[in-house]
Amino acid sequence: MEVSEILSRIRAVIVIFYYCSSPVVTALQLKTIYCTISQSCDCDFKPDVQGLEWDLYKNLYGQHLAQEVVSEAVANFLKKESPDIPLVMSFHGASGTGKTLVSSMLGRHLYGAAMGSPYIHQFIPTLHFPLPARAKQYRSELKTWVEGNLTTCARSIFIFDEMETMPLGVIDVLAPFLGPSHVVFQTNYRKAIYIFISTTGEDIINKLTLETRQAGKEREDIQLLDLEAALSQAVFNNKNGGFFRSKIISDRLITHFVPFLPLNRRHVERCARRELCQRGECQRRDVAEAVGSAMTYTPQLFSSTGCKSVPAKVNLFL
Ligand SMILES: Nc1ncnc2c1ncn2[C@@H]1O[C@H](COP(=O)(O)OP(=O)(O)OP(=O)(O)O)[C@@H](O)[C@H]1O
Ligand SMILES: [Mg+2]
């Protein structure tokens, strides 16, 4: 431990003793004070990077890019005690392909508590920001909220699901937090993780997956480089997405674009088999096949709802 860190911890302890003399200071306030002063507070952060890698490898089907990008990005980010910039990932792909599933895996392996941790904040625009006319109010509320939570816990995770329904202009208020320069009152805003999720760009991803198959290649031959620039452009130009002409995109503040490929019948049946095993019915291969044939597929043979309606279909055939 460096001398400056020892001094800063001693300072934190003195301030805490001072505040302890006041009967109205709560445990959370004390923790906030300690975290702000000492810079060494990582909340209940218990990262299990290997557990995350294993979960992605074993339980996420047909998504080699998401497996690689998320594992590597998280491992590299957590290697640094004091990162230069926050980890900012944007998940893209069709419905039911595993975007929300991966965000909950992250929560589980970084905080040991799926979405239940007080340091994982999930926003769904239709719920939290429903009225486009209130964009200005939402901006200031979101900024205050993020600032407050980062002061309590620098290792906070912010998940913005269904970004395509985010009112225009709201998300840009976060641009200063996503860059390299944000350290205020000794709170290191660069330790946070942000995840944006949307279906924007699904047509680009699906088209490339189809072309790859038509060219006789494996879907695993698709590389991130083939999609990254096109996804960035798609979210920037999409009038119905929260990132329309956003500074977050033009300033390249998203550190990783993560494409989710469309799923086909083979993946749907794997989802069904897993669902059956969870119900103690592993041997019912007939049910998995029935679920596979009952699903709707696009003319390109991609499942229209990914694996989303698998549990309902299993109920039907079991
Ligand atoms: N690639 C996958 N591998 C394994 N299971 C999957 C996969 N994709 C989806 N599933 C299953 O389907 C369910 C729904 O997936 P999820 O909620 O992650 O979809 P999504 O991509 O977030 O879709 P939407 O855009 O509609 O929100 C998951 O809980 C999971 O059980
Ligand atoms: Mg989702």
**What is the band of 112 on the pLDDT scale with cuts at 50, 70, 90?**
confident
Instruction: Please state, as a whole number, how many other Cβ atoms lie within 10 Å of the Cβ of residue 41.
Output: 19
What pLDDT is recorded for position 32? Answer: 54
- Cα separation, 112 vs 147, whole angstroms: 24
**What is d(CA 34, CA 313) in angstroms, rounded to the nearest whole number?**
51
Whether the predicted pLDDT of 22 surpasses 90: no
Residue 60 CA to ligand 2 centre (angstroms): 14
Taking the C-alpha atoms of residue 206 and residue 289, their distance in angstroms, rounded to an integer, is 24
Position 122 scores a pLDDT of 93
> 11 pLDDT exceeds 70?
no
Residue partners of 67: CB distance under 8 A and separation at least 6: 56, 57, 60
Residue 150 and residue 35 in contact, taking contact as beta carbons nearer than 8 Å: no
pLDDT tens sequence across 293-304: 999 999 889 999
Q: Would you give the DSSP letter of residue 282?
A: T
Question: How do the domains of the chain map onto residue ranges?
Answer: 3-38, 49-260, 265-317
CATH number of 49-260: 3.40.50.300
Output the CA 154–ligand 1 centroid distance in Å: 29
Can you give the pLDDT at residue 49?
A: 95
> What is the pLDDT, as a whole number, of residue 58?
97
What is the rounded distance in angstroms from the CA atom of residue 313 to the CA atom of residue 315?
5
Question: String of b and e for 184-211 (b: at least 16 CB within 10 Å)?
Answer: eeebbbbbbbbbbbbbbbbebbbebbbe
pLDDT at 285 over 90: yes
Residue 196, C-beta contacts closer than 8 angstroms, at least 6 positions apart: 88, 89, 90, 91, 160, 163, 171, 242, 243, 254
The string of pLDDT tens digits covering residues 194-244 is: 999 999 999 999 999 999 999 999 999 999 999 999 999 999 999 888 899
Average pLDDT over residues 164-172: 93
- Given a cut of 60, whether residue 276 has pLDDT beyond it is yes
What is the model's pLDDT at position 185? 56
Q: Which atom of ligand 1 is nearest to the CA of 60?
A: 3
Q: What is the mean pLDDT of residues 22-32?
A: 53
In this structure, which ligand is nearest to the CA of 308?
1
Residue with the larger pLDDT of the pair 44 and 246? 246
Contact 165/125 with Cβ under 8 angstroms? Answer: yes
- 135 band by pLDDT with thresholds 50, 70 and 90: very high
Band (pLDDT 50/70/90 cuts) for residue 117 is confident
pLDDT tens for residues 243-260?
999 999 999 999 999 999
Q: What is the pLDDT of residue 128?
A: 94
- Residue 84 carries which DSSP code? S
Phi, psi values for residue 305, rounded to 5°: -120, 20
pLDDT value for 27: 53
Residues lining ion ligand 2 (Cβ < 5 A) are 100
Residues 307, 30: Cα–Cα separation, whole Å: 45
Q: What mean pLDDT, rounded, does the chain reach?
A: 87
Q: Which atom of ligand 1 is nearest to the CA of 270?
A: 4
Smallest Cα–Cα separation from 227: which of 50, 99, 15, 64?
A: 64
Judge contact between 19 and 170, C-beta under 8 A.
no
Report which residue type is found at 283: Q
Cα 118 to middle of ligand 1, angstroms = 24
Taking the CA of residue 90 as centre, how many other CA atoms within 13 Å lie in the half-sphere pointing to its CB?
A: 29
Beta pairing class for 183-184 and 187-188: antiparallel
Index of the ligand 1 atom closest to the CA of residue 199? 25
Residue 274 alpha carbon to ligand 1 centre in Å: 13
**Alpha-carbon span 108 to 117, nearest angstrom:** 9
Helix (H, G, I), strand (E, B) or coil at 281: coil
Q: Residue 188's pLDDT band (boundaries 50, 70, 90)?
A: confident
pLDDT at 270 over 90: yes
Looking at residue 299, what is its pLDDT?
A: 87
Among 307, 313, 314, residue to substitute to test ligand 1 (most atoms within 8 Å of Cβ): 307
Q: Residue 17: is its pLDDT beyond 90?
A: no
List, chain by chain if needed, residues with CB within 6 Å of any ligand 1 atom: 59-63, 95-101, 199, 271, 306-308
Helix (H, G, I), strand (E, B) or coil at 259: strand
Best probe residue, ligand 1, of 55, 89, 97 (max atoms within 8 Å of C-beta)? 97
Instruction: Please say if the pLDDT value at position 15 is more than 60.
Output: no
What was the pLDDT predicted at 16?
47
Query: What does the pLDDT read at residue 189?
Result: 85
